[in-house]
């Protein structure tokens, strides 16, 4: 067998040493660091993406919180505005009612005063006419003009009795 | 191809160009050296071109390169643990070198570097001495407790220790002969059965041709398997040197 021919033992061993050393150096200095680099890069990328996803998630949560706060604020504001409008309306209504009431009271008072003066006027007129009629009637009956002061007094006493 | 080749002719070594001598040492560049250089060039090209894009998401070729890396790195991690990490470039080079020499040897007309006992023995002895030195440097004299089996009865020790020592020193022999014999046997078988194809001619030659096709597939498997076996045994020896059992 050619395998046991020692003629070419030496060159085989020498070239095995040279080529294997070259291979070892190529692998350890070039190829394996290169693949390590690829793995490291990949890991970095994955970590980076995970971090970015985390950041995005946080941002989304913040946006959601801001949105919910805005909604709550808007609702509170709307309720405030609504309450204020209701209060305004109530105040206006109350003010108008009060004014209306006052006007009515004034008018009532004025009317009552008018009625009172008219009544007093009427009573006074009645008293004068009654006194005149009574005086005339007494003069016709007696034939002589009656005492005016006595007639007025008599009419007054009768009117007081009737007014009771 | 009609010339009557001996099945062993494929293992013959001849210098390419002229013989070269340096200081009495024959360093002629032979066909064996050529295929060693081709294997190294092939491995480097394969790994370099495969990873040229350095893609985050690897393509098919880059996946293959990364797979090689992961495969050897996994072997080392499983068998040696994290202490084996610093021997990774060596173990990776060893695996790739044997794998590519075995596979290139299957190319038609190629020379199989690993079919020579000198080469496999040199690799095996290198592994053997490396592992022994690592063991002695790590554990000092305590390393030799490796030869004393734990839990064996004392009266058995005179028998057990020589067996352990013998099995330790026989490692480079079994390691080198296993690879060498597998390569030689495979190539002889391919050549012999391949010879029958011509001998039986166009009518009956189909039968050995079918055989040789099947056996070629088997040889591809063996080429990979033997590289794997050499590598995993190296890892196991490294484990023994680092952990002592």
pLDDT, tens digit, 9 for 90 and up, residues A103-123 = 999 999 999 999 999 988 888
Distance separating alpha carbons of residues B123 and B3, to the nearest angstrom: 35
Chain A residue with CA closest to B51: the answer is A35
Compare CB distances from B27 to A11, A30, A37 and report the shortest one's residue: A11
Which one of A12, A22, A38 has the shortest CB-CB distance to B118? A12
The distance from CA B83 to its chain's CA centroid, rounded to whole angstroms, is 23
Are the CB atoms for B32 and A15 separated by under 8 Å? yes
Q: For B151, left (φ over 0), alpha (ψ -120 to 50), or beta?
A: left
The nearest alpha carbon in chain B to A32 belongs to B89
Q: Do B97 and A34 touch (CB under 8 A)?
A: no
Residue B2 clears pLDDT 60, i.e. is over it: no
pLDDT for residue A141: 83
In angstroms, rounded to a whole number, what is the distance separating the alpha carbons of residues B99 and B114?
Answer: 9
DSSP H helix total and E strand total for chain B: 7, 2
Distance CA B179, CA B94 (A): 13
DSSP-assigned letter for residue B30: B
pLDDT(A32) > 90: yes
pLDDT of residue A125: 84
Kindly write down the DSSP assignment for every residue of B148-186, as one continuous string. S-TT--GGGHHHHHHHHHHHHHTHHHHHHHHHHHHHHHH
Q: Which of B117, B132, B118, B94 is nearest to B227 (CA)?
A: B94
Beta-bridged to residue B209, according to DSSP, are none
Residue B132's pLDDT band, with cuts at 50, 70 and 90, is very high
CA B177 to chain centre: 10
Q: How far is B29 from chain A (nearest CA, A)?
A: 7
Residue scoring higher pLDDT (B35 or B244): B35
* Token pair listed for B227: 């590289």
Nearest by CB to residue A2, choosing from B12, B29, B56, is B12
**Residue B191 structure tokens:** 């050549």
Q: What is the pLDDT of residues A69-89, one digit of tens each?
A: 999 999 999 999 999 999 999
Q: Do A11 and B123 touch (CB under 8 A)?
A: no
Strand partners, B15: B30
Position A151 scores a pLDDT of 80
* CB contacts, 8 Å: A1 with chain B: 8, 11, 184
HSE-up (13 A, CA, CB side) for residue B137: 7
* The predicted structure's pLDDT at residue A96: 95
User: Two tokens at A109?
Assistant: 């008072």
Query: What residues form DSSP beta bridges with B25?
Result: B22
Q: Looking at the complex, report in whole angstroms how far the Cα of residue B121 sits from the nearest Cα belonging to chain A.
A: 10
Percent of chain A residues past pLDDT 70, beyond the cut: 99
Nearest CB to A20; choose among B26, B27, B93: B93
With beta carbons less than 8 A apart as the criterion, state whether B180 and B114 touch.
yes
Cα gap B198→B206, rounded to integer Å: 10
- The burial class, CB within 10 Å (0-12 / 13-18 / 19+), for B188 is middle
Residue with tokens 């050619």: A2
Contact (CB, 8 A) for B241 and B135? yes
Among A4, A14, A41, select the one facing B25 at the smallest CB separation.
A14
Work out the end-to-end distance of chain B between its first and last CA atoms, rounded to an integer number of angstroms: 53
Closest chain A residue to the Cα of B8, Cα to Cα:
A1
Residue B209 pLDDT level (bands cut at 50, 70, 90): very high
Q: Are B242 and B134 in contact (CB under 8 A)?
A: yes
Please tell me if residue B174 touches chain A, with a CB cutoff of 8 Å: no
| Radius of gyration of chain A from its Cα atoms, rounded to whole angstroms | 63
Mean pLDDT of A46-59: 95
- Please name the helix (run of DSSP H) or strand (run of DSSP E) that holds residue B26, with its range, or none: strand B25-26
Instruction: For CA atoms A45, A49, A54, A59, give the dihedral sign.
Output: positive
Cα B205 vs. chain centroid, distance in angstroms? 33
- Spell out where A5-164 has E strands: none
Query: What tokens appear for A122 in the block?
Result: 């009427």
Give A-chain residues touching B88 at CB under 8 angstroms. Answer: 32
Q: How confident is the model at residue B202 (pLDDT cuts 50, 70, 90)?
A: confident
Helix axes B31-50, B60-79, angle to 10 degrees: 110
Angstrom distance (rounded) from CA B239 to CA B245:
8
Residues B168, B152: Cα–Cα separation, whole Å = 18
- B208: its two tokens: 């050995």
* B97 in contact with A, Cβ within 8 Å: yes
pLDDT at A2 over 80: yes
Q: Of B232, B237, B239, B228, which is closest to residue B98 (Cα–Cα)?
A: B228
ipTM of this model?
Answer: 0.91
Residue A9 has pLDDT above 50, yes or no: yes
Q: Which of residues 48-77 of B touch A (CB under 8 A)?
A: 48, 51, 54-56, 58, 62, 65-66, 69
Query: What was the pLDDT predicted at B5?
Result: 66
- pLDDT score at A124: 83
CA dist B194 and B215 (Å) reads: 10
pLDDT at B150: 80
């Amino acid at each position: 067998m050619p395998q046991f021919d020692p003629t070419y033992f030496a060159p085989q061993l020498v070239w095995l040493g040279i080529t294997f050393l070259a291979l070892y150096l190529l692998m350890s200095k070039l190829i394996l660091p290169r693949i390590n680099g690829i793995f490291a890069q990949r890991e970095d990328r994955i970590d980076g993406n995970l971090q970015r996803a985390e950041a995005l998630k946080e941002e989304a949560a913040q946006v959601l919180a801001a949105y919910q706060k805005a909604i709550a604020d808007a609702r509170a504001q709307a309720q405030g505005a609504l309450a204020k409008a209701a209060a305004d309306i109530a105040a206006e209504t109350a003010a108008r009612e009060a004014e209306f009431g006052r006007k009515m009271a004034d008018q009532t008072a004025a009317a009552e005063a008018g009625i009172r003066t008219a009544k007093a006027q009427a009573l006074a007129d009645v008293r004068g006419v009654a006194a005149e009629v009574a005086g005339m009637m007494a003069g016709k009956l007696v034939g002589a003009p009656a005492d005016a002061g006595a007639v007025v007094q008599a009419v007054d006493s009768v009117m007081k009795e009737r007014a009771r | 191809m009609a010339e009557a080749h001996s099945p062993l002719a494929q293992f013959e070594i001849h210098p390419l160009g002229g013989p070269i001598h340096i200081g009495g040492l024959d360093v002629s560049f032979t066909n064996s050296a050529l295929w060693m250089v081709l294997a190294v060039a092939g491995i480097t090209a394969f790994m370099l071109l495969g990873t040229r894009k350095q893609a985050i998401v690897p393509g098919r070729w880059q996946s293959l390169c990364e797979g090689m890396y992961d495969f050897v790195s996994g072997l080392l991690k499983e068998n040696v643990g994290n202490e084996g990490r610093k021997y990774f470039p060596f173990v990776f080079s060893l695996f790739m070198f044997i794998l590519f020499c075995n596979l290139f040897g299957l190319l038609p007309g190629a020379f199989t570097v690993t079919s020579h006992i000198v080469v496999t023995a040199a690799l095996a002895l290198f592994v053997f001495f490396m592992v022994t030195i690592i063991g002695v440097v790590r554990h000092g004299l305590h390393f030799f407790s490796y030869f004393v089996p734990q839990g064996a009865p004392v009266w058995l020790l005179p028998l057990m220790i020589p067996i352990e020592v013998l099995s330790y020193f026989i490692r480079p022999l079994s390691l080198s002969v296993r690879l060498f014999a597998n390569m030689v046997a495979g190539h002889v078988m391919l050549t012999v059965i391949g010879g029958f194809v011509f001998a039986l001619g166009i009518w009956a030659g189909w039968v050995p041709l079918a055989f040789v096709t099947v056996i070629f597939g088997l040889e591809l498997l063996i080429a990979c398997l033997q590289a794997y076996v050499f590598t995993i045994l190296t890892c196991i020896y490294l484990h023994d040197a680092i952990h002592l059992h």
